Structure 1
Amino acid sequence: MTPNGRWHLQGSAEHAYSGEEARQLLRHRWDWANQETWFENDAGRLLGVVTNGERAMVVLLDGDGDPGEHLVDPRGEGSSGGYRLSNGQADSYEDRDTVAFDTAAQAVAYFIEHGTWPSEVTVQGERAQERS
Protein backbone atom coordinates (compact mmCIF):
# COMPACT_ATOMS: atom_id res chain seq x y z
CA MET A 1 0.00 0.00 0.00
CA THR A 2 1.28 3.49 -0.82
CA PRO A 3 1.79 6.06 1.95
CA ASN A 4 -1.31 7.78 0.60
CA GLY A 5 -3.56 4.72 0.83
CA ARG A 6 -5.03 2.79 -2.06
CA TRP A 7 -6.03 4.89 -5.08
CA HIS A 8 -8.83 3.76 -7.39
CA LEU A 9 -11.08 5.35 -9.97
CA GLN A 10 -13.70 7.45 -8.23
CA GLY A 11 -16.82 5.40 -7.62
CA SER A 12 -15.11 2.05 -8.23
CA ALA A 13 -12.91 0.47 -5.58
CA GLU A 14 -12.45 -2.72 -7.62
CA HIS A 15 -8.84 -2.01 -8.59
CA ALA A 16 -6.16 -0.10 -6.66
CA TYR A 17 -3.82 1.63 -9.09
CA SER A 18 -0.06 1.81 -8.77
CA GLY A 19 1.50 5.05 -9.92
CA GLU A 20 2.64 3.52 -13.20
CA GLU A 21 -0.80 2.01 -13.86
CA ALA A 22 -2.38 5.42 -13.24
CA ARG A 23 0.08 7.08 -15.65
CA GLN A 24 -0.74 4.52 -18.34
CA LEU A 25 -4.47 4.82 -17.67
CA LEU A 26 -4.35 8.59 -18.24
CA ARG A 27 -2.74 8.03 -21.65
CA HIS A 28 -5.24 5.32 -22.58
CA ARG A 29 -8.23 7.38 -21.48
CA TRP A 30 -7.07 10.19 -23.78
CA ASP A 31 -6.78 7.62 -26.60
CA TRP A 32 -10.36 6.55 -25.78
CA ALA A 33 -11.55 10.19 -25.94
CA ASN A 34 -12.13 10.38 -22.19
CA GLN A 35 -10.48 13.62 -21.14
CA GLU A 36 -11.46 13.71 -17.45
CA THR A 37 -10.24 11.20 -14.85
CA TRP A 38 -10.80 11.21 -11.09
CA PHE A 39 -8.93 8.97 -8.67
CA GLU A 40 -10.02 8.58 -5.06
CA ASN A 41 -8.10 7.14 -2.13
CA ASP A 42 -9.34 5.25 0.90
CA ALA A 43 -9.45 8.48 2.95
CA GLY A 44 -11.70 10.22 0.40
CA ARG A 45 -9.03 12.42 -1.19
CA LEU A 46 -9.67 13.15 -4.87
CA LEU A 47 -7.02 13.51 -7.57
CA GLY A 48 -8.45 14.83 -10.83
CA VAL A 49 -6.96 15.26 -14.29
CA VAL A 50 -8.60 16.90 -17.28
CA THR A 51 -6.59 17.17 -20.49
CA ASN A 52 -6.75 18.50 -24.01
CA GLY A 53 -4.04 16.04 -25.05
CA GLU A 54 -1.19 18.54 -24.85
CA ARG A 55 -1.73 20.10 -21.43
CA ALA A 56 -3.57 18.97 -18.30
CA MET A 57 -5.21 20.50 -15.24
CA VAL A 58 -4.27 18.40 -12.19
CA VAL A 59 -6.25 19.00 -8.99
CA LEU A 60 -5.98 17.48 -5.51
CA LEU A 61 -8.92 17.80 -3.09
CA ASP A 62 -9.10 16.54 0.49
CA GLY A 63 -12.84 15.96 0.00
CA ASP A 64 -16.04 17.82 -0.85
CA GLY A 65 -15.78 21.53 -0.11
CA ASP A 66 -11.99 21.54 0.06
CA PRO A 67 -10.47 24.48 -1.87
CA GLY A 68 -7.81 22.09 -3.11
CA GLU A 69 -4.55 22.65 -4.86
CA HIS A 70 -3.41 22.28 -8.43
CA LEU A 71 -0.23 22.03 -10.45
CA VAL A 72 0.87 25.19 -12.23
CA ASP A 73 3.36 26.13 -14.92
CA PRO A 74 4.99 29.39 -13.71
CA ARG A 75 6.24 30.01 -17.26
CA GLY A 76 2.90 29.28 -18.92
CA GLU A 77 1.55 32.10 -21.09
CA GLY A 78 -1.78 32.44 -22.84
CA SER A 79 -4.60 29.96 -22.59
CA SER A 80 -5.67 26.68 -24.16
CA GLY A 81 -9.06 25.22 -24.91
CA GLY A 82 -10.38 21.78 -25.67
CA TYR A 83 -10.70 20.48 -22.12
CA ARG A 84 -13.90 18.42 -22.32
CA LEU A 85 -15.42 17.46 -18.98
CA SER A 86 -17.44 14.29 -18.48
CA ASN A 87 -20.65 16.36 -18.37
CA GLY A 88 -19.95 17.57 -21.93
CA GLN A 89 -18.80 21.06 -20.93
CA ALA A 90 -15.78 22.30 -22.89
CA ASP A 91 -13.41 24.49 -20.88
CA SER A 92 -10.43 26.71 -21.52
CA TYR A 93 -7.71 27.29 -18.92
CA GLU A 94 -4.83 29.68 -18.54
CA ASP A 95 -1.66 27.81 -19.48
CA ARG A 96 -0.22 28.89 -16.12
CA ASP A 97 -2.91 26.74 -14.44
CA THR A 98 -2.03 23.63 -16.45
CA VAL A 99 1.10 21.58 -17.15
CA ALA A 100 2.33 19.52 -20.09
CA PHE A 101 0.42 16.24 -20.29
CA ASP A 102 3.52 14.08 -19.72
CA THR A 103 4.44 16.17 -16.67
CA ALA A 104 0.91 15.72 -15.33
CA ALA A 105 0.94 11.94 -15.82
CA GLN A 106 4.35 11.60 -14.17
CA ALA A 107 3.32 13.84 -11.25
CA VAL A 108 0.12 11.80 -10.68
CA ALA A 109 2.13 8.56 -10.74
CA TYR A 110 4.62 9.98 -8.23
CA PHE A 111 1.85 11.31 -5.98
CA ILE A 112 0.07 7.95 -5.89
CA GLU A 113 3.32 6.16 -5.00
CA HIS A 114 4.75 8.66 -2.49
CA GLY A 115 1.86 10.73 -1.13
CA THR A 116 3.55 13.98 -2.11
CA TRP A 117 4.23 15.88 -5.31
CA PRO A 118 7.60 15.48 -7.04
CA SER A 119 10.01 18.35 -6.35
CA GLU A 120 10.08 19.44 -10.01
CA VAL A 121 6.42 20.55 -10.09
CA THR A 122 4.89 23.75 -8.73
CA VAL A 123 1.75 23.51 -6.61
CA GLN A 124 -0.67 26.32 -5.89
CA GLY A 125 -3.74 26.40 -3.72
CA GLU A 126 -5.44 27.48 -0.55
CA ARG A 127 -3.77 24.73 1.48
CA ALA A 128 -0.38 24.60 -0.23
CA GLN A 129 2.37 27.14 -0.20
CA GLU A 130 3.50 27.70 -3.77
CA ARG A 131 6.77 25.96 -4.37
CA SER A 132 9.07 25.22 -7.29
Structure 2
Amino acid sequence: MTTTNRWHLQGTGGHAYSGEEARQLLRHRWDWGSQETWFEDDAGRLLAVVTNGERAMVVLLEREDEPGEHLVDPRGEGFSGDYRLSNGQVDTYADRDTVAFDVAGHALAHFIEHDTWPTEVTVETDCGCGEDRS
Protein backbone atom coordinates (compact mmCIF):
# COMPACT_ATOMS: atom_id res chain seq x y z
CA MET A 1 0.00 0.00 0.00
CA THR A 2 1.31 3.44 -0.89
CA THR A 3 0.34 6.46 1.14
CA THR A 4 -1.70 9.28 -0.39
CA ASN A 5 -0.05 11.95 1.80
CA ARG A 6 2.67 13.88 0.08
CA TRP A 7 5.85 14.53 2.05
CA HIS A 8 7.97 17.61 1.28
CA LEU A 9 10.64 19.60 3.07
CA GLN A 10 9.03 21.48 5.95
CA GLY A 11 7.82 24.93 5.05
CA THR A 12 8.28 24.54 1.32
CA GLY A 13 5.07 22.90 0.14
CA GLY A 14 7.18 22.08 -2.87
CA HIS A 15 8.44 18.84 -4.34
CA ALA A 16 6.72 15.74 -2.96
CA TYR A 17 9.42 13.20 -2.13
CA SER A 18 9.14 9.50 -2.76
CA GLY A 19 10.63 7.33 -0.05
CA GLU A 20 13.78 6.64 -2.05
CA GLU A 21 14.22 10.33 -2.93
CA ALA A 22 13.92 11.22 0.76
CA ARG A 23 16.53 8.61 1.68
CA GLN A 24 18.90 9.96 -0.98
CA LEU A 25 18.26 13.51 0.20
CA LEU A 26 19.39 12.55 3.73
CA ARG A 27 22.68 11.26 2.33
CA HIS A 28 23.17 14.36 0.16
CA ARG A 29 22.35 16.74 3.01
CA TRP A 30 24.96 14.98 5.17
CA ASP A 31 27.48 15.40 2.34
CA TRP A 32 26.53 19.11 2.14
CA GLY A 33 26.99 19.57 5.89
CA SER A 34 23.28 19.67 6.81
CA GLN A 35 22.65 17.30 9.68
CA GLU A 36 19.02 18.19 10.42
CA THR A 37 16.19 17.48 7.94
CA TRP A 38 12.49 18.09 8.50
CA PHE A 39 9.76 16.71 6.26
CA GLU A 40 6.09 17.69 6.45
CA ASP A 41 3.09 15.93 4.98
CA ASP A 42 -0.20 17.33 3.68
CA ALA A 43 -1.85 16.64 7.06
CA GLY A 44 0.77 18.70 8.91
CA ARG A 45 2.69 15.80 10.45
CA LEU A 46 6.43 16.32 10.84
CA LEU A 47 9.16 13.75 10.30
CA ALA A 48 12.61 14.83 11.52
CA VAL A 49 16.02 13.24 11.11
CA VAL A 50 19.11 14.57 12.89
CA THR A 51 22.35 12.71 12.21
CA ASN A 52 26.00 12.72 13.14
CA GLY A 53 26.79 10.60 10.07
CA GLU A 54 26.89 7.30 11.93
CA ARG A 55 23.64 7.37 13.91
CA ALA A 56 20.40 9.33 13.58
CA MET A 57 17.54 10.51 15.75
CA VAL A 58 14.29 9.93 13.81
CA VAL A 59 11.14 11.58 15.20
CA LEU A 60 7.52 11.67 13.99
CA LEU A 61 5.23 14.41 15.34
CA GLU A 62 1.50 14.58 14.68
CA ARG A 63 1.67 18.33 15.37
CA GLU A 64 4.68 20.57 16.00
CA ASP A 65 3.96 21.23 19.69
CA GLU A 66 2.72 17.75 20.62
CA PRO A 67 4.63 14.68 21.79
CA GLY A 68 5.37 12.18 19.09
CA GLU A 69 7.37 9.03 18.70
CA HIS A 70 10.93 8.15 17.76
CA LEU A 71 12.91 5.16 16.60
CA VAL A 72 14.99 3.41 19.24
CA ASP A 73 17.78 0.87 19.29
CA PRO A 74 16.90 -1.44 22.21
CA ARG A 75 20.50 -2.73 22.22
CA GLY A 76 22.08 0.72 22.05
CA GLU A 77 24.49 1.49 24.87
CA GLY A 78 26.32 4.66 25.68
CA PHE A 79 26.03 8.04 24.04
CA SER A 80 26.97 9.64 20.71
CA GLY A 81 27.59 13.31 20.11
CA ASP A 82 28.10 15.83 17.33
CA TYR A 83 24.43 16.09 16.32
CA ARG A 84 24.46 19.63 14.91
CA LEU A 85 21.08 21.31 14.74
CA SER A 86 20.27 24.05 12.25
CA ASN A 87 20.28 26.65 15.06
CA GLY A 88 23.95 25.84 15.81
CA GLN A 89 23.26 23.75 18.92
CA VAL A 90 25.29 20.55 19.18
CA ASP A 91 23.56 17.67 20.99
CA THR A 92 24.51 14.32 22.45
CA TYR A 93 21.93 11.51 22.51
CA ALA A 94 21.76 8.12 24.15
CA ASP A 95 22.49 5.46 21.53
CA ARG A 96 19.24 3.79 22.62
CA ASP A 97 17.36 6.85 21.29
CA THR A 98 19.07 6.74 17.90
CA VAL A 99 19.54 4.19 15.13
CA ALA A 100 22.27 3.51 12.58
CA PHE A 101 22.18 6.06 9.73
CA ASP A 102 21.31 3.39 7.12
CA VAL A 103 18.45 2.12 9.32
CA ALA A 104 17.15 5.69 9.58
CA GLY A 105 17.18 6.10 5.79
CA HIS A 106 15.41 2.79 5.25
CA ALA A 107 12.77 3.58 7.91
CA LEU A 108 12.19 7.08 6.51
CA ALA A 109 11.72 5.74 2.98
CA HIS A 110 9.33 3.03 4.17
CA PHE A 111 7.29 5.46 6.27
CA ILE A 112 6.92 7.94 3.41
CA GLU A 113 5.80 5.17 1.03
CA HIS A 114 3.51 3.21 3.39
CA ASP A 115 2.55 5.59 6.23
CA THR A 116 3.83 3.06 8.76
CA TRP A 117 7.22 2.10 10.14
CA PRO A 118 8.90 -1.05 8.84
CA THR A 119 8.36 -4.04 11.10
CA GLU A 120 12.06 -4.41 11.90
CA VAL A 121 12.36 -1.07 13.74
CA THR A 122 11.35 -0.30 17.30
CA VAL A 123 9.28 2.81 17.95
CA GLU A 124 8.79 4.49 21.31
CA THR A 125 6.12 7.07 22.07
CA ASP A 126 7.31 10.31 23.63
CA CYS A 127 4.16 10.94 25.68
CA GLY A 128 5.68 9.61 28.90
CA CYS A 129 3.04 6.90 29.05
CA GLY A 130 5.52 4.02 28.74
CA GLU A 131 4.05 2.56 25.55
CA ASP A 132 6.54 0.99 23.14
CA ARG A 133 5.75 -0.37 19.71
CA SER A 134 7.94 -2.77 17.80
Q: TM-score, normalised by structure 1?
A: 0.95
Counterpart for residue 131 of structure 1:
133
Structure 2 SS opposite 1:57: strand
Counterpart for residue 113 of structure 2:
113
Which aligned runs of 4 or more in structure 1 are off by greater than 4 angstroms? none
RMSD after superposition:
1.4
Counterpart for residue 40 of structure 1:
40
Partners of 1:4 and 1:129 lie apart in 2 by 27
Counterpart for residue 27 of structure 1:
27
Q: Give the residue type in structure 2 aligned to 1:63.
A: R
1:47–1:87: structure 2 CA closer, same or farther, 3 Å change rule? same
Q: Give the residue type in structure 1 aligned to 2:115.
A: G
Partners of 2:130 and 2:106 lie apart in 1 by 20
- How many residues matched? 131
Structure 2 unaligned segments of length 5 or more: list them.
none
Q: Give the residue type in structure 2 aligned to 1:131.
A: R
Partners of 1:65 and 1:13 lie apart in 2 by 20
Partners of 1:79 and 1:4 lie apart in 2 by 37
1:65, CA displacement in angstroms? 1.9
Map Cα deviations across residues 50-85 of structure 1 (whole Å, 9 max, x no partner).
000000000000012211000000000000000000
Partners of 2:15 and 2:130 lie apart in 1 by 29
Structure 2 SS opposite 1:17: coil
1:93–1:11: structure 2 CA closer, same or farther, 3 Å change rule? same
1:4–1:86: structure 2 CA closer, same or farther, 3 Å change rule? farther
Percent identity over paired residues: 74
Partners of 1:4 and 1:51 lie apart in 2 by 27
